[in-house]
Structure 1
Amino acid sequence: MTRLLRAVRARLAADPVRRPAGPPPLTEAETAEAEDRLGITFPPEYRRHLLEVSAGGEAFARLERTEGVWWWTDNSATRRDLLALPFPHPDSYDEADDALLLREPRAEDCPDDEEAFSRAWTAWDDEAGEFEDRKTAGAVVLKEHGCGFATLLALTGPLSGTVWWDGRATCDLIVPLSLDHAGGARPVTFGEWLGRDSWDLLPPDSWPRRRD
């Protein structure tokens, strides 16, 4: 029996099929604690991956507890106070976005009062910044791609569990990553996204194709 156990252990040690490199999975207790502290319930596919495969790492942003605080790597700019809000579909704020742009103060509106223009523009810029932050409410950065591009995972609302592309650095748009852009562009789920390149899931035409 001892020789058999040794043989099994040796075979397992030599087996090339192993868990992906990276942080280990979370325990059920850790996952539940993270959900409680963050005020959300993780989408099923993402939650299962955290429990059975890995908490993240090279493939996507790691969920970790640092000094008792749960958060994701590569998400220093993500606002914690907006995480529990429903992730909004980009179509839902199109009109408000256009209206905000039309209200941007212009210098010619205050030709004789530079200070008044500066105050008005600063107030507008603060409002615009808040508006931009709320476009990614309920989502976290799954993967950074440089130059302001990022892959997002929606964690809340009707779109929970779906994956999106933040291309606002060049086109002011957040768009779904999809396997079927011609057929309605249903956003991929976290499970569908795993193992795929976000660049390959972008709309096929009129899109910057810069690779990581």
Structure 2
Amino acid sequence: MNRPAVPRPLTEAEVIEAEAELGVTFPSEYRHYLLQVSSGGAVEQLEKTENGWWWAGNSTKRRDLLPLPFPHPDTYEDADDEFYRRLPRAEDYADEDAFSESMNGWNTEYWDFNERKTAGSFVAKEHGCGFATLLVITGPFAGTLWWDGRATSDLIIPLSLDHAGGARPVTFGEWLGRDSWDLLPPGWGRA
């Protein structure tokens, strides 16, 4: 199937239907973009599929987490450390089967915990190698963009025009037309 280079904007009825189905209200700048510019283009396309409304390129994201508020990374720092302290060690188990069972349980719990770190957001732009730009849809950071750098650093950080001055996350409107790599802290990820 050939997709147009820039998908058409959505209608007001489509946006209302998508918001109702997803259990969210889109941030105003993103909503305006969907209605006036495109359902995709600069971001992953919001589309209605056989599974309902969702974003292209986000098939592995959990739908049930979208209505939850996006958590600031500082809020789970201690919990992250606690998970690693509870990492099973082979020497603490009588045999390999018991260790494997414990490790499987830990992995399942940690996978869920990691998924919750991006609750309330979707991948707006995929950058390859596990890096992505997230657009926050819900919570106090709704309408801002964040860098998911967990592939190499285990960090999610705000994309910002002013990292030296407090790193206020950019809004969707500020981000449009910019390269997410240029909104990272100085020296991050570029040799």
| TM-score normalised by structure 1 residue count | 0.86
1:82 matched to 2:59: no
1:149 matched to 2:131: yes
| Runs (5+) with no aligned partner, structure 1 | 1-19
From 85, 97, 107, the counterpart of 1:102 = 85
Q: How many aligned residue pairs are there?
A: 188
Q: Secondary structure at the match of 1:181?
A: coil
1:202 matched to 2:188: no
Q: Which has the higher helix share?
A: 1
CA displacement at 1:21 relative to structure 2 = 4.9
1:191 partner amino acid? G
| TM-score normalised by structure 2 residue count | 0.95
Separation of aligned partners in 2, 1:73 and 1:63: 6
1:23 matched to 2:7: yes
From 46, 49, 64, the counterpart of 2:33 = 49
1:60 matched to 2:40: no
Separation of aligned partners in 2, 1:21 and 1:170: 31
1:52 partner amino acid? Q
2:13 partner amino acid? A
Show the counterpart of 2:114: 132
For the aligned residue pairs, the C-alpha RMSD in angstroms reads 1.3
Q: Secondary structure at the match of 1:60?
A: coil
| Runs (5+) with no aligned partner, structure 2 | none
Separation of aligned partners in 2, 1:67 and 1:185: 40
1:92 partner amino acid? T
Percentage of matched positions with identical amino acids: 69
From 143, 149, 154, the counterpart of 1:167 = 149
Show the counterpart of 1:193: 175
Separation of aligned partners in 2, 1:94 and 1:155: 22
Show the counterpart of 1:11: none
Larger gyration radius, structure 1 or structure 2: 1
Separation of aligned partners in 1, 2:71 and 2:91: 35
Closer/same/farther in 2, CA of residues 68 and 109 from structure 1, 3 Å limit: closer
